[in-house]
């Protein structure tokens, strides 16, 4: 128990500065990704490209999507985001951070038996718009965005 704690302390103090130095802007794609996964979207380096890869282009701006996020996030490594969609027949909620090296954060599929709500904690490299695209049952897409200012970037986790 004590030994574990000792080595943990050593590691954190020794590597802390180095880790912090490489932390900013260091998101790279993984080499191995499953076939069912939309690789193109996850590897896209701009939000429009990622949205296009997902086939969600041409989304209508909507006030029915509520994004609750801090105006100013002190720590970019952990930015809490609450998304509630009041779009009728919401199927999935996709999240993008425009200024991240790889903007596509993920898609949350609620169609099979969940309320159109999700809470996540994300990493943000720098201040950016947080963009949400909702897929509705009628095949249309709706989007909303909210700006979050980041004082310390947190791509390194």
Partner 1 sequence: MGDPMRIRAKLVGDTADVRVLMAHPMDVERKSGGKVVPAHFIRQIRAELNGKVVWEAQISQAISKNPVFAFKVKGAKAGDKLSVTWEDNKGDSRTDSITLGAS
Task: Write out the residues near partner 1 by the rule CB under 8 A.
Answer: 15, 18-19, 22-23, 26-34, 37-38, 42, 77-79, 97, 100, 102, 104-110, 112-115, 117-124, 154-157
User: Of the two residues 6 and 11, which places its CB atom closer to partner 1 in the complex?
Assistant: 11
Q: How many CB atoms lie within 10 A of CB 53?
A: 17
User: Of the two residues 5 and 28, which places its CB atom closer to partner 1 in the complex?
Assistant: 28
25: alpha, beta or left? (left if phi > 0; alpha if psi -120 to 50): left
CB of 106 to partner 1, least distance (A): 3
User: Of the two residues 59 and 77, which places its CB atom closer to partner 1 in the complex?
Assistant: 77
Question: Which has the closest alpha carbon to 102: 150, 42, 149?
Answer: 42
Element (H or E) spanning 119, and its range?
A: strand 117-122
CB of 36 to partner 1, least distance (A): 9
CB of 79 to partner 1, least distance (A): 8
CB of 148 to partner 1, least distance (A): 13
Distance CA 43, CA 27 (A): 10
DSSP conformation letters of 21-74: HHHTT-----S---TTS-HHHHH-SSHHHHHHHTT--SPEE-SSEEEE--SEES
User: Of the two residues 59 and 116, which places its CB atom closer to partner 1 in the complex?
Assistant: 116
User: Of the two residues 5 and 37, which places its CB atom closer to partner 1 in the complex?
Assistant: 37
CB of 2 to partner 1, least distance (A): 21
């Amino acid at each position: 128990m004590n030994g574990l704690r000792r080595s943990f302390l050593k590691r954190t103090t020794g590597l802390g500065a180095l880790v912090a130095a490489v932390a900013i802007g260091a998101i790279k794609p993984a080499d191995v990704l499953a076939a069912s996964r939309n690789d193109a979207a996850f590897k896209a380096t701009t939000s429009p490209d990622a949205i296009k890869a997902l086939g969600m282009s041409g989304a209508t701006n909507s006030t029915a999507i509520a994004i609750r996020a801090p105006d100013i996030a002190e720590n970019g490594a952990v930015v809490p985001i609450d998304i509630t969609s009041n779009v009728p027949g919401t199927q999935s909620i996709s999240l993008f951070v425009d200024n991240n090296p790889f903007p596509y954060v993920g898609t949350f599929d609620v169609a099979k038996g969940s309320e159109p709500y999700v809470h996540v904690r994300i990493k943000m490299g720098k201040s950016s718009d947080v963009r949400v695209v909702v897929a509705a049952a009628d095949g249309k897409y709706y989007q909303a965005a909210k700006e979050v200012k980041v004082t310390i970037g947190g791509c390194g986790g």
